Structure 1
């Protein structure tokens, strides 16, 4: 069995990755976000909308911290090819609940360019919700191509690097890693 320090670097499809955030840090941050959400929505009945596939681990751990009346729904989008973000976002599964007059919390694994989030927000706002807040585990401020005023809950801000683990993948691999890893780019 390897010790935690021996597992700090991994290889996925011939790409090297190094650990940047361990699961204990993630759990602590999600617990704090859960407390904030419980306080903010104490006397309301929010709908949490997870953006699949990447959000499944964040959403599962976050919902364990939510102790208020709430509902859960999901959308599924495709915006990556390999390690490259596409400009076009494909909607694979759309909204399946009425959000009119409701408090909505969109749960993302990562907001980088913001293309997927913009797509989701457009679909949510079309239903005239009472309010919309965004909760994301990871935020890449330097990669944003859109302006958002409703990103209210952020786990960690990271540099504009490709990351895997804790729901994030590279070619379908790495989603089940408990920690988050960034790609190690060889020096030129």
Structure 2
């Protein structure tokens, strides 16, 4: 099935059913690993909101939820490599276990920036839970990346929170750009 988002055409890559199944698996792992903690799930807006909502429903341990907003794409198909902080962290994470929830990790530039920023706030631990990971695009070593939903090819994707020109986030499935 193909969909049009703004001026581009996309084809289904990952079904909602597969996303649901993998999210439940990740939730079970996080539940086991953080059952004796009060972790902070820190979402990176806007893309993480769908995944994070579904993920935290799979983790029945006491937790807190917070958000930050960073941007580096600004409507295009490639990162501008300039990171802009649009919403800063509003809670104290010192001494806390932080689970950084990302929709997608490609070059790792934004994630490396964010992990370094959070480290300065002295949390007990930082682990990254990313729905999608593009290993062929990665430019940084990020040992904090511990939980990955799906490894995908280095293709532009939309749906399930991911966008193109702020559109397509509401699609249930994940779609890749048709070339």
Q: Per-residue deviation at 1:145?
A: 1.1
For 2:13 and 2:175, locate their aligned partners in 1 and report how far apart those are by CA, in whole Å: 5
Deviation track 1:124-147 (CA, whole Å, cap 9, x = no partner) reads 101111111000000000101111
Q: 2:72 is paired with a residue of what secondary structure?
A: strand
Q: Per-residue deviation at 1:14?
A: 2.3
For 2:6 and 2:93, locate their aligned partners in 1 and report how far apart those are by CA, in whole Å: 41
Q: 1:138 is paired with a residue of what secondary structure?
A: strand
Show the counterpart of 1:11.
4
For 2:5 and 2:26, locate their aligned partners in 1 and report how far apart those are by CA, in whole Å: 30
For 1:123 and 1:66, locate their aligned partners in 2 and report how far apart those are by CA, in whole Å: 26
Q: Does 1:162 align with 2:152?
A: no
- Runs of 4+ in structure 1 deviating by more than 3 angstroms, as ranges, are none
Q: Which residues of 2 match residues 129-148 of structure 1 at below 5 A?
A: 129-148=123-142
Q: Does 1:176 align with 2:167?
A: no
TM-score normalized with structure 1 length: 0.93
Q: Does 1:150 align with 2:135?
A: no
For 1:12 and 1:110, locate their aligned partners in 2 and report how far apart those are by CA, in whole Å: 19
TM-score normalized with structure 2 length: 0.97
Show the counterpart of 2:18.
25
Structural RMSD (CA):
0.7
Larger Rg: 1
For 2:18 and 2:3, locate their aligned partners in 1 and report how far apart those are by CA, in whole Å: 19
For 1:150 and 1:76, locate their aligned partners in 2 and report how far apart those are by CA, in whole Å: 19
Structure 1 gap ranges (5+): 1-7
Deviation track 1:12-70 (CA, whole Å, cap 9, x = no partner) reads 22211000101000000000000000000011111010000000000100011110011
Deviation track 1:73-111 (CA, whole Å, cap 9, x = no partner) reads 000011103112111110000111111111010000000
Stretch deviating more after TM superposition (76-85 or 102-111): 76-85
